[in-house]
């Protein structure tokens, strides 16, 4: 009887903890995880530029769109094969290639990133790029923080990057080179 009561109490406590975790609302200051993959170690220092000897380039294009009621920022991360050969790209072990756009304050505190609750835009597990060919990774942002509130006026930084990008042999049997969190930072965004 005592064993049954302990077991029931444990289940009840676990259930309450689950309910509290699912229904609690945190402020954007408390959210420091990196989104869908839970990249809690992300910081601006972990985004590396593309090495000069890499067979590809990554660039970032931004376009502000506004009408009388709304404004948004269209973001396009561009991956281009700059080598003389075809590139066979993937994220390893059959994983999808994840890309992200992250907005931070100047003190590096994240205020928004696309992968937080969003799994849209996952690419195929592999991409083949011919010489000079480009692959586009796109999304838009409405100048809001994690809580859906308009950002305060000020200066912010925007990063676009691919979390994991591996170059494979043409049969996808062996990884030739690995690149992690490779991307670019846009110029400072002035939000007025």
pLDDT of residue 124: 57
Of 141, 164, 154, whose CA–CA distance to 46 is shortest?
A: 164
- Does 7 reside within a domain? no
Range(s) of the domain holding residue 78:
42-191
Tens digit of pLDDT per residue, the chain (192 long)?
A: 554 444 444 444 444 343 333 333 333 222 222 333 334 445 677 677 888 899 999 999 999 898 878 889 999 999 999 999 999 988 766 567 788 899 999 988 889 988 776 655 555 577 899 999 999 988 899 999 988 899 999 999 999 988 888 898 988 888 899 988 888 988 788 888
Residue 5 within any structural domain of the chain: no
- Is residue 35 situated within a structural domain? no
16 within domain boundaries: no
Cβ atoms 100, 158 nearer than 8 A: no
| Structural contact between residues 183 and 51, judged by C-beta atoms closer than 8 angstroms | no
Number of domains in the chain: 1
What pLDDT shows up at residue 90? 83
151 is a domain residue: yes
Exposure of 190 by Cβ count < 10 A (0-12 exposed, 13-18 middle, 19+ buried)?
Answer: exposed
In a domain, 143, yes or no: yes
Gap between the Cα atoms of 87 and 168, Å rounded: 8
CATH, residue 160 = 2.60.40.2360
State the Cα–Cα distance between residues 123 and 95, nearest whole angstrom.
10
> Per the domain annotation, does 22 fall within a domain?
no
Q: What is the pLDDT of residue 5?
A: 45
Domain assignment present for 73: yes
- The pTM of the full predicted model, rounded to 2 decimals, is 0.72
Q: Quote the pLDDT of residue 129.
A: 94
């Amino acid at each position: 009887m005592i064993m049954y009561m302990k077991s029931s109490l444990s289940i009840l406590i676990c259930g309450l903890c689950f309910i509290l975790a699912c229904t609690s609302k945190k402020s954007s200051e408390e959210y420091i995880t990196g989104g869908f993959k839970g990249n809690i170690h992300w910081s601006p220092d972990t985004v590396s530029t593309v090495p000069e000897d890499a067979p590809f380039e990554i660039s970032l294009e931004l376009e502000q769109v506004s009408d009388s009621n709304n404004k948004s920022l269209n973001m396009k991360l561009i991956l281009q094969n700059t080598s003389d050969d075809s590139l066979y790209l993937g994220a390893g072990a059959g994983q999808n290639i994840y890309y992200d756009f992250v907005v931070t304050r100047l003190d590096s505190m994240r205020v928004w990133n696309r992968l937080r609750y969003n799994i849209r835009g996952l690419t195929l597990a592999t991409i083949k790029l011919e010489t000079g060919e480009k692959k586009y990774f796109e999304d838009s942002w409405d100048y809001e923080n994690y809580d859906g509130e308009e950002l305060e006026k000020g200066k912010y930084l925007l990063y676009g990057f691919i979390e994991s990008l591996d170059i494979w042999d043409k049969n996808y049997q062996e990884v030739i080179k690995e690149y992690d969190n490779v991307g670019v930072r846009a110029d400072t965004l002035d939000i007025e």
